[in-house]
Amino acid sequence: MTATYRDVKADILDKITRGVWAPGSLIPNEVELAETYDCARATVNRAVRELADAGMVERRRKAGTRVRMAPVRQARFDIPLVRKEIEDRGARYRYALVHRDVLPAPDWLRARLKLGGRAEVLHLVCMHYADGIPYQFEDRWISLEILPQAREADFSQSGPNEWLVAEIPFSDAEISFLAVPADETLAAHLGCRAGDALFQTERSTWWQGRAITFVRLCFRPGHRMTTRY
């Protein structure tokens, strides 16, 4: 008796995965569940709320709680720092700055980050290696309107990501995953052939509605991003 919210959550999840409560069906309301498990309604509430957050059930006032028809709704991905990602695999991390430039933001970047007309940006191209083998190509753009101090920062020894996380918080971000063919530049840096299929992520970050940075990360051929849920 006196079940914890974890007990309640586990038991309900069990009933769902075993098919006792079928997809689409209504489960008992909170008061009934509280009696069943001999606990307070708040305890049941937390259990069921977490199941709803996880996408297992759907709740509506008055209508009650239903088991979702398609329970798998979302997956969570950790987005690690490259260095940590590589070191966690037991490999030695090495960083190299390939190119550095200050220039007016090109049109495509202004559109993507909603930048003003004459915004200047810092453009960095970097490489990340695992045990000396090319691991990731980084194409980074930093707004100098918001981060003028980036102009003076030294990116020859460590990557812009590490500098950025220490320098500024952020409030909003957008991330995309896609596949791209390697162009000559990518092929040269990643040690593959032009046209090879590469996994790429793109991330835009804002702070208080103002663009901070855009980055394009291109992984070596064969890279995969995996998660369980």
**CB 4 to DNA: min, Å:** 3
**What's the alpha-carbon Rg for the chain, to the nearest Å?**
24
Residues sharing a CB contact under 8 Å with residue 19, sequence separation 6 or more, in sequence order: none
Per partner kind, with CB cut-offs from 5 to 8 A, the member of its own copies, DNA, none near residue 81 is: its own copies
∠ CA 110-182-125 to the nearest 5 degrees? 50
Nearer to DNA, 2 or 157 (CB): 2
Asked whether position 111 contacts its own copies by CB under 8 A, the answer is no
Residues between 36 and 75 that touch DNA (CB under 7 A): 38-43, 45-46, 48-49, 52, 59-65
Q: Which is nearer to its own copies, 99 or 114 (CB)?
A: 114
Distance CA(155)–CA(51), nearest Å, equals: 44
Residues 155-174 that bind its own copies (CB under 8 A): 165-166, 168-174
List the 64-67 sheet strands across, edge first.
Answer: 26-27, 64-67, 57-60
2 binds, among DNA, its own copies, none (CB under 5 to 8 A by kind): DNA
Segment holding 210, helix H or strand E: strand 210-219
- The token pair that represents 181 in the structure block: 């063919």
At residue 14, the 3 state secondary structure works out as helix
Kindly state whether residue 15 participates in binding DNA, applying the rule CB under 7 A: no
The secondary element (H helix, E strand) that includes residue 113 is helix 107-113
Binding partner at 173 among DNA, its own copies, none, C-beta below 5 to 8 Å by kind: its own copies
**Strand, helix or coil at 205?**
strand
188 touching its own copies, by CB under 8 A: no
> Segment contacting DNA (CB under 7 A): 29-37, 114-122, 169-177, 220-228?
29-37
Phi, psi at residue 116, to the nearest 5°?
A: -75, 180
3-state secondary structure of 38: coil
As measured in angstroms, the least distance from the Cβ of 8 to DNA is 8
The residues binding DNA (CB under 7 A) are 2-7, 29-31, 38-43, 45-46, 48-49, 52, 59-65
The residues binding its own copies (CB under 8 A) are 16-19, 23, 69-79, 81, 165-166, 168-181, 195-200, 205, 207-208, 221-229
